[in-house]
Amino acid sequence: MSEKSKVLALKYRPKIFEELIGQKIVSDTIINSIKADKIPNAYLFTGIRGVGKTTIARIVAKSLNCLNGIEKLCEKNLCINCEGISKSSHMDVLELNGADKTSINDIRDLIEFSRYGPTSSKYKIFIIDEVHQISSSAFNALLKILEEPPNYLKFILATTEIKKVPVTIVSRCQRFDLSRVKSDDLFQFIKKVKDKENGNVSDEALKLIVKISEGSVRDALSLLDRGLLSLNKKKELNLSEAQKIFGYFDKSQLIEMFDLVLQGNEKKVLEIYRKIFDQGINPKVFIDDFLELIYYFKNINSLTLESTNFSLNDEEFSKIKKISNSIDNKVLILFWQFTIKTIKELEVVSNQNLAIEMYLIRLIYLSPFKQRIDIENNKTKLLVENDFYNSKNDAVDQIKNITQEKKIKSESDTNIKAENVVIDSFKNLLDLCYEKKEIKLKYELEKNVNLVNFERNRIEISFNENLDKFFVKELSSKLYEWTGERWIISFSKEIGQMSVKQRVDDNKKKLINDIKKTQLYNDFIKKFPDAYLNDVVLNKKDEDR
């Protein structure tokens, strides 16, 4: 095969250590060990696809057997050993695929073959790719020869799933973990390749290739190859064309959609999504990108543009930073949880496109609030419109731990005759709920509310996820009806006191534990070992104490 007809991933495959990118520490360690003549019995390379495991294995094999030595390793005019290894035709360097040679019989044949010394080189080398796929019995057969092979025999193992390789095998090898290639290094590399191939590709398109490849050099070269072949050489492969070719879309569309979700604009959100879908974007790709965007909104203040690995450009980074200042972190965490749940739903839904549309609508229902920053008090206020509870956003759970103000201006309020009751404590409020037969309200206050502070016309609370979504509306309405005054119910970031239900449960547990320590209980359990103390009921005199 001529050099011109080779795919880029093969054409630009490194032949010496100096051509490797992103693995300098590994290269230096191996070179130093060979120079010092401290060569391990077996090498083990692990890492994701396309970071150079098999490539380094071949370079190591060449370094050990090159007629010119490690100092003058063949680069262009290859010696007979380097040429044979490069073409995978050398008699003493045997390459095996762990997926093909999986049985113990294959490994026994390999061990039998290893009894004979090299024919034309210094070392006989066995390269086993994807070694994790061989059987357990085959691994056991390798143990002894890996630990004490003949002086002329070396093993080089490579795997993408190191956890599947037995610890006994790993311990007999010199292990090297190959890292993902950094985005900047990969970008500079494929840019040089593009120039050598006289490709007309914009930097933005190259950055998209780097993002999609996720640190894999082979993936990046394959994508670049595909991009160069997709267009006429006279036409530039820009970001827009690259997105169409690789099935990706403009991040600015996603950011605009996210902003509209927060505003509750269902019509425009669906319009943008349908445009994205019409571009041929897979729903799974869309949801993955949306998840990534939520991460950026949550952590944008601790990130730099470079740390986003070319996922964002300058304008997108600035826009996310601006929008994120008006979003409470609890909203973003809630969005993250719903998105993760939707990923699982996509696996069981036949029409994934409809599932994504319903997912976006659910997010809108989760974010009906218009937020603003109260600079004076340094608190995030949640302003609830008069018709909020009558709108389509009725299904929304209340966002936790932020201050809430609600104005009750309905016509029914003006007709309510205030009872002018004085409520000066949380206990008074509970007693009044019981007296007025507001059992549901009493239940919410006792079970799902943690009191932080109680004062005249203001109650500060925290709450759990089970709190009813109409709780604030109902409590405010009843307080106005009973006292004739407006009350502010505010949500605090503090945990607050234990709920009434928690205190009751804790007291019950303590009482049960105390009784279990008594002699009476121990005597009873001896006679009835299967008995279990489930509850304790105090008589009236004990309750009054």
Counts for the chain of helices (H) and strands (E), in that order: 24, 11
pLDDT for the residue numbered 419: 65
pLDDT for the residue numbered 1: 54
Work out the number of other CB atoms within 10 angstroms of the CB of residue 424: 10
Dihedral, CA atoms, 60, 61, 64, 68, nearest 10 degrees? -100
pLDDT for the residue numbered 3: 63
Model confidence, pTM: 0.59
Which amino acid does the sequence have at 261?
V
pLDDT for the residue numbered 408: 40
**Burial of 312 (C-beta count, 10 Å sphere; 0-12/13-18/19+):** buried
Domains of the chain: 8-177 (3.40.50.300), 183-246 (1.10.8.60), 251-367 (1.20.272.10), 381-491 (no CATH), 500-544 (no CATH)
Which amino acid does the sequence have at 411?
E
Beta bridge partners of 174: 43
297 Cα distance to chain centroid: 14
pLDDT for the residue numbered 418: 52
pLDDT for the residue numbered 405: 39
Q: Whole-angstrom Cα distance, residue 87 to residue 98? A: 20
Q: Whole-angstrom Cα distance, residue 39 to residue 280? A: 52
pLDDT for the residue numbered 307: 65
Q: Whole-angstrom Cα distance, residue 372 to residue 142? A: 66
For CA atoms 419, 420, 422, 426, the dihedral sign is positive
CA distances from 369 to 338, 488, 525 (A): 18, 18, 57
pLDDT for the residue numbered 309: 62
Q: Judging by DSSP bridges, how do beta strands 124-129 and 93-97 pair with one another?
A: parallel
Work out the number of other CB atoms within 10 angstroms of the CB of residue 364: 20
Residues in the chain with pLDDT values less than 50: 368-417, 540-541, 543-545
Identify the CA nearest to 405 among candidates 304, 490, 471. Answer: 490
**H or E stretch at 381:** strand 379-384
CA distances from 479 to 83, 414, 418, 453, 454 (A): 89, 14, 9, 16, 13
Tokens 């010496």 appear where?
16
